[in-house]
């Protein structure tokens, strides 16, 4: 059985091919620049080079960023489900369209192949209402304005992979740091998400590559008024011009910042680590303590100076066991696909 996993973003299309032999195993994974039909054409070219016909696959899994309140687990997509998913586009306007466009195009290309939508928000559906609800009038919560959380597919992977990696049971109170261009923390208690730093959107929480993380909404209102910005112009600043890029004025790339001797690069790194640790304290409070910590994601796995700085800020927690778990959203999605089509 051969499965395709697709992760469509705004600038890249990531994909992986997995096979059951009899256990699921990665055959290859790759990514192409671009989005939409152009990126999918490159995907089909790679599959053709591997002598894989997309219409002969056993199933296709898609990473969809936002499942809203309705989708708290993977779902087999039909026309009705796709229509419901399209109504969620406004919840993540800079992420959701790409995943849904790839889903639509692949359903057109391979209409008889089962396709499964897997959601980055689903893992956080276990958050208690007190963690998910904003202190706004009740009508807004009822309309779906709440803290959803993201990176859930990789958090799900970490929870399943850590015991196999350590040979010990999953720690009861686990703090996971998913650090990449997008970044968040998750408090996992008894294997379930009870709090996370991202909220309604992927802007909230930690300092990221080009996103600011937690930000006083009064600042947003003031900037929009003072500079007479449209919502779209403010959105551009928040999603693409802030974070490490905004702090350093140099780059959003952590590796380049670590290699730089510029004071603004050092300041950006220190700010990134300070806020990661400061928000970690909030999640530790949500769990009533912490038994272990995991770093994952491109920065979490590879940037030892960043891990060291964050752990230094958390030195008051005494001897905290710290692990590194390589991100693997593809395997989680593939398992969800096999669970729904077999």
Domain identity same for 201 and 84: no
The pLDDT score that the predictor gives to residue 167 is 98
154: in domain: no
Domain identity same for 71 and 191: no
Distance CA 267, CA 261 (A): 11
Distance CA 195, CA 16 (A): 30
The pLDDT score that the predictor gives to residue 33 is 82
How many other C-beta atoms lie within 10 A of the C-beta of residue 208? 25
Domain identity same for 234 and 107: no
CA dihedral for 305, 311, 315, 316, sign (positive or negative): positive
pLDDT one digit per residue (tens) for the chain, 342 residues: 899 999 988 778 899 999 988 888 999 898 888 777 788 888 889 889 989 999 999 999 999 999 999 999 999 999 999 999 999 988 887 788 999 999 999 999 999 999 999 999 999 999 999 999 999 999 999 999 999 999 999 999 999 999 999 999 999 999 999 999 999 999 999 999 999 999 999 999 999 999 999 999 999 999 999 999 999 999 999 999 999 999 999 999 999 999 999 999 999 999 999 999 999 999 999 999 999 999 999 999 999 999 999 999 999 998 899 999 999 999 999 999 999 998
Distance CA 112, CA 158 (A): 33
Domain identity same for 177 and 306: yes
The pLDDT score that the predictor gives to residue 318 is 86
Domain identity same for 104 and 177: no
Q: How many domains does the chain have?
A: 2
108: in domain: yes
Domain identity same for 7 and 73: yes
146: in domain: no
The pLDDT score that the predictor gives to residue 153 is 97
136: in domain: no
280: in domain: yes
Domain identity same for 284 and 192: yes
- Domain residue limits at 256: 167-324
162: in domain: no
Catalytic residue among 78, 120, 227, 291: 120
157: in domain: no
259: in domain: yes
CA dihedral for 40, 41, 42, 45, sign (positive or negative): positive
Domain identity same for 200 and 304: yes
Domain identity same for 177 and 100: no
Distance CA 335, CA 38 (A): 28
Domain identity same for 187 and 308: yes
Domain of residue 238, CATH code: 3.30.420.40
| Residue carrying structure tokens 């032999």 | 21
* 120 part of the active site: yes
User: Environment class of residue 337 by beta-carbon count within 10 Å: exposed (0-12), middle (13-18) or buried (19+)?
Assistant: buried
DSSP string, 78-105: -HHHHHHHHTTGGGSTTTHHHHHHHHHH
Domain identity same for 229 and 112: no
Q: Extract the tokens encoding 242.
A: 């802030």
Looking at the chain, how many residues does it have? 342
């Amino acid at each position: 059985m051969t499965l395709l996993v697709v992760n469509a973003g705004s600038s890249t299309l990531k994909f992986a091919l997995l096979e059951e032999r009899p256990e699921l195993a990665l055959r290859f994974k790759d990514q192409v620049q671009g989005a939409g039909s152009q990126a999918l054409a490159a995907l089909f070219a790679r599959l053709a080079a591997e002598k894989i016909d997309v219409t002969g696959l056993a199933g296709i899994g898609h990473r969809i960023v936002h499942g809203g309140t309705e989708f708290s687990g993977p779902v087999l997509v039909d026309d009705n489900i796709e229509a419901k998913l399209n109504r969620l586009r406004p919840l993540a306007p800079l992420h959701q369209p790409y995943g849904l466009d790839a889903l639509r195009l692949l359903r057109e290309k391979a209409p008889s192949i089962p396709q499964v939508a897997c959601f980055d928000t689903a893992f956080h559906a276990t958050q208690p209402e007190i963690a998910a609800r904003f202190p706004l009038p009740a009508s807004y919560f009822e309309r779906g304005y709440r803290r959803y959380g993201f990176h859930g597919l990789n958090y799900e992977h970490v929870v399943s992979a850590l015991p196999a990696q350590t040979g010990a049971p999953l720690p009861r109170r686990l703090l996971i740091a998913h650090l990449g261009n997008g970044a968040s923390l998750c408090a996992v208690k008894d294997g379930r998400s009870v709090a996370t730093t991202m909220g309604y959107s992927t802007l909230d929480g930690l300092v990221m590559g080009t996103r600011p993380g937690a930000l006083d909404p009064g600042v947003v209102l003031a900037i929009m008024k003072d500079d007479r910005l449209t919502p779209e112009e403010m959105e551009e600043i928040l999603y693409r011009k802030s974070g490490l890029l905004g702090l350093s004025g140099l780059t959003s790339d952590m590796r380049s910042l670590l290699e730089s001797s510029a004071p603004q690069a050092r300041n950006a790194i220190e700010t990134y680590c300070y806020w990661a640790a400061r928000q970690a304290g909030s999640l530790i409070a949500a769990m009533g303590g912490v038994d272990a910590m995991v770093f994952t994601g491109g920065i979490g796995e590879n940037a030892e100076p960043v891990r060291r700085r964050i752990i230094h800020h958390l030195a008051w927690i005494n001897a905290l066991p710290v692990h590194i778990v390589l991100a693997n959203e593809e395997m989680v999605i593939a398992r969800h696909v096999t669970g729904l089509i077999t």
